[in-house]
């Protein structure tokens, strides 16, 4: 019965997880669903998930009632057997009345732990089912980060991807990727959606370890595997502009100063100017204007220019850009492109791009094949 309870609780927790995930997706995408008239279908899916959760929960309750009844019956039978034994011994004269009554009164207390097991067992199974996924994550062995702190000079370093593969659970394994970025060069990564272009930037940032292959930093005196370096020290020399930059609740200056907390107000203002964030001067309090969570109140282009201002303030020799002009209109895209061109001067840049206007800033284009394609040959690097 305990095993049946464990299996039922596991099914219930999985149904609850699916219900919660579906509901969260529905809430996030509700405006889009409403606009395209697809909300009814999604609501129907949520209702089906809810019905499944209800059925599984009722199955757990049925098992709970049966197990509680069984344990109560066993406890009652145990007390009854004690009472019969006491009665037989009282009739035979082998036990006096006082002792018999004392044993009879204490018998239910002896079976109390058995009753408590029935009451708390299902609650414990519920907690174990909920904790199982968290324990899997907590007990997973993460790769040990590198500890080498004598980093090569990025301004004289060639970044080389040697047959790098990053496999994701439940997804097709992409082909190996091989290309190099020379010092001061701007290389654009292009390819189909899902090819892993943004993942390659995550590898360069040290957020993801390659499943196969390696990233080498080549200098005139030798080469170093990126995995051997202290990731924190390495990231100090890298500026990253994601496709959807995150802005925190705080002032504009505080959000830009994340790149370098010790920066002065003059340095922050200079970074904003270099990023073309002239809109900051029109805000009620300029750089001291407070923003809402995720930059509420700013447009996509304005948030993107604040992310570029972070990169300017960072003043790192290596810059990673993940589609910085995605979802921007024409005039806004042009201002962002001008800022990207200024940022790329004298730096090693790797950018993920789809739009031709952004590709024009690149010295070379590397085509990243999608899953199912052959291994990337060196000829896939298209010189401009």
- Rounded to the nearest 10 degrees, the angle between the axes of helix 300-314 and helix 330-344 is 10
Using one digit for the tens of pLDDT, what is the confidence trace for 180-194? 999 989 999 988 877
- Considering the domain boundaries, does residue 275 fall inside one? yes
Using one digit for the tens of pLDDT, what is the confidence trace for 130-170? 677 677 767 666 667 677 777 778 788 888 999 888 887 76
The stretch 217-238 carries a mean pLDDT of 86
Confidence of residue 383 (pLDDT cuts 50, 70, 90): very low
Using one digit for the tens of pLDDT, what is the confidence trace for 46-101? 777 778 878 877 777 777 777 777 777 877 888 888 888 888 888 887 778 888 88
The reply to whether 57 and 102 lie within a common domain is: yes
The reply to whether 129 and 214 lie within a common domain is: no
Range of 122's domain? 2-139
Provide the pairing of β-strand 186-190 with 318-322: unpaired
Mean pLDDT of the residues in the chain: 79
Structure tokens at 359: 């590709």
Residue ending a domain, choose from 114, 139, 164: 139
Using one digit for the tens of pLDDT, what is the confidence trace for 70-79? 777 877 888 8
SS3 call for 92: helix
**128 or 309: which carries more pLDDT confidence?**
309
Confidence of residue 376 (pLDDT cuts 50, 70, 90): very low
Confidence of residue 33 (pLDDT cuts 50, 70, 90): low
- Rounded to the nearest 10 degrees, the angle between the axes of helix 265-274 and helix 300-314 is 120
The reply to whether 105 and 176 lie within a common domain is: no
The reply to whether 161 and 116 lie within a common domain is: no
CATH number of the domain that 12 lies in? 1.20.1560.10
Predicted local distance difference test score (pLDDT) of residue 267: 92
SS3 call for 211: coil
CATH number of the domain that 238 lies in? 3.40.50.300
Predicted local distance difference test score (pLDDT) of residue 94: 79
Q: pTM for this one? A: 0.63
Predicted local distance difference test score (pLDDT) of residue 169: 72
* Residue 375 clears pLDDT 60, i.e. is over it: no
Predicted local distance difference test score (pLDDT) of residue 28: 66
The reply to whether 255 and 191 lie within a common domain is: yes
Predicted local distance difference test score (pLDDT) of residue 4: 65
- Considering the domain boundaries, does residue 145 fall inside one? no
CA distance 277 to 153: 31
Using one digit for the tens of pLDDT, what is the confidence trace for 255-266? 888 888 888 989
- Considering the domain boundaries, does residue 147 fall inside one? no
């Amino acid at each position: 019965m305990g095993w049946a309870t464990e299996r039922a609780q596991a099914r219930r927790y999985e149904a609850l997880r699916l219900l919660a995930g579906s509901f969260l997706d529905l809430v996030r995408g509700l405006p889009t669903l409403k606009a395209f008239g697809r909300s009814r279908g999604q609501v129907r899916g949520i209702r089906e998930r809810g019905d499944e959760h209800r059925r599984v929960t009722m199955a757990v309750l049925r098992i709970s009632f049966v197990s509680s009844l069984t344990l109560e019956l066993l406890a009652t039978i145990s007390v009854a057997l004690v009472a019969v034994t006491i009665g037989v011994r009282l009739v035979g004269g082998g036990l006096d009345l006082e002792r018999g009554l004392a044993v009879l009164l204490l018998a239910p207390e002896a079976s109390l732990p058995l009753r408590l097991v029935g009451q708390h067992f299902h609650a414990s199974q519920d907690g174990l089912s909920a904790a199982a996924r968290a324990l899997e994550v907590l007990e997973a062995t993460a790769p040990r980060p590198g500890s080498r702190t004598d980093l090569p000079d990025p301004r004289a370093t060639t970044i080389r991807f040697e047959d790098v593969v990053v496999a994701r659970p439940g997804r097709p394994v992409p082909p190996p990727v091989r290309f190099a970025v020379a010092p001061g060069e701007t290389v654009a990564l292009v390819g189909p959606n899902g090819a892993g272009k943004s993942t390659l930037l995550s590898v360069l940032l040290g957020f993801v370890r390659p499943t196969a292959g390696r990233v080498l930093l080549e200098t005139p005196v030798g080469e170093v595997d990126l995995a051997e370096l202290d990731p924190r020290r390495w990231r100090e020399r890298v500026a990253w502009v994601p496709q959807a930059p995150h802005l925190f609740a705080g002032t504009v200056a505080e959000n830009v100063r994340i790149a370098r907390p010790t920066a002065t107000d003059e340095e922050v203002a200079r970074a904003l100017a270099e990023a073309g964030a002239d809109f900051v001067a029109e805000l009620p309090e300029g750089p001291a204007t407070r923003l809402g969570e995720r930059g509420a109140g700013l447009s996509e282009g304005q948030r993107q220019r604040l992310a570029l201002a972070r990169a300017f303030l960072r003043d790192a020799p290596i810059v990673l850009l993940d589609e910085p002009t995605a979802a921007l209109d024409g005039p806004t895209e042009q201002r962002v492109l001008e800022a990207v061109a200024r940022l790329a001067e004298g730096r090693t840049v790797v950018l993920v791009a789809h739009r031709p206007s952004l590709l024009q800033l690149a010295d070379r284009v590397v085509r990243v094949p999608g899953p199912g394609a052959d291994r990337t040959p060196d000829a896939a690097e298209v010189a401009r």
